[in-house]
């Protein structure tokens, strides 16, 4: 297994649109444990392939307290959403230290392939539903700060660039 580098906002590569995974082959089966290890090490509850510069539709999630219930969704598609939405506090491993509210569907149904390539359906609510929506946004090149006002977003962009400059010095 290997730790992967997580892209940091405002890296333009975070805005690439991911392509479908063509086959759940050895390459994907090797990428999944690396993504899970990277997510656990960063203390995240989710990670999209886009964030590790792989532009294919693959996400990993673990919202369990014990951090022992990994969920792997390959080529995920949302097939149903509740009418109700909620404002939820979100963070992002690609935008460290920034937390803000995003409106998300309360409940969703998702179809995907699992890490063995088997078709699955996941019904989610609560933090899992929020996390799946956040990760699926990454796959279309959308970072959660894009839901915020241009003023907030520009402040965050400047803060991230300053932190990255200081880190490089």
Q: Which residues are known to be catalytic?
A: 135
Asked if 115 and 164 touch (Cβ cutoff 8 Å), the reply is no
Of 34-42, 55-63, 89-97, 159-167, the segment contacting Zn ion by CB under 5 A is: 89-97
Q: Which of residues 76-105 bind ligand K1U (CB under 6 A)?
A: 90-94
Nearer to Zn ion, 35 or 92 (CB): 92
What is the maximum span of the chain, computed from C-alpha positions, in angstroms? Answer: 49
d(CA 147, CA 30): 33
118 φ/ψ sector (left φ>0, alpha ψ -120 to 50, else beta): beta
Q: 43 contacts which partner out of Zn ion, ligand K1U, none, CB within 5 to 8 A by kind?
A: ligand K1U
* Min separation Cβ 91 and Zn ion, Å: 8
Instruction: Please write down the long-range contacts of 152-155, taking CB distance under 8 Å and 24 or more positions apart.
Output: 152/100
Of 57-65, 70-78, 90-98, 110-118, the segment contacting Zn ion by CB under 5 A is: 90-98
Q: 139 contacts which partner out of ligand K1U, Zn ion, none, CB within 5 to 8 A by kind?
A: none
Among 7, 18, 36, 44, binds ligand K1U (CB under 6 A): 44
Secondary-structure percent of the chain, ordered helix, strand, coil, rounded to 5: 35, 25, 35
Q: 91 contacts which partner out of ligand K1U, Zn ion, none, CB within 5 to 8 A by kind?
A: ligand K1U
Residue (of 128, 129, 141, 70) closest to 105 by Cα position? 129
Binding site residues, ligand K1U, CB under 6 A = 43-48, 90-94, 130-131, 134-135
Binding site residues, Zn ion, CB under 5 A = 92
């Amino acid at each position: 297994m290997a730790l992967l580098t997580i892209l940091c906002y405002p890296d333009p590569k975070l805005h690439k649109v991911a392509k479908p995974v063509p086959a759940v082959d050895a390459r994907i089966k090797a990428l999944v444990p690396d993504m899970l290890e990277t997510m656990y090490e960063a203390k995240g509850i989710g990670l999209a392939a886009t964030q590790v510069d792989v532009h294919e539709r693959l996400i990993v999630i673990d919202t369990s307290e014990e951090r022992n219930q990994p969920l792997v969704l390959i080529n995920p598609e949302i097939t149903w959403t509740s009418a109700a939405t909620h404002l939820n506090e979100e963070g992002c491993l690609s935008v460290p230290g920034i937390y803000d509210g995003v409106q998300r569907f309360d409940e969703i149904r998702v179809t995907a392939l699992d890490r063995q390539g088997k078709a699955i359906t996941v019904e989610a609510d609560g933090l899992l539903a929020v996390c799946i929506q956040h990760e699926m946004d990454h796959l279309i090149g959308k970072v959660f700060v894009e839901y915020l006002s241009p003023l907030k977003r520009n402040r965050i962009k400047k803060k991230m660039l300053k932190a990255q400059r200081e880190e490089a010095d």
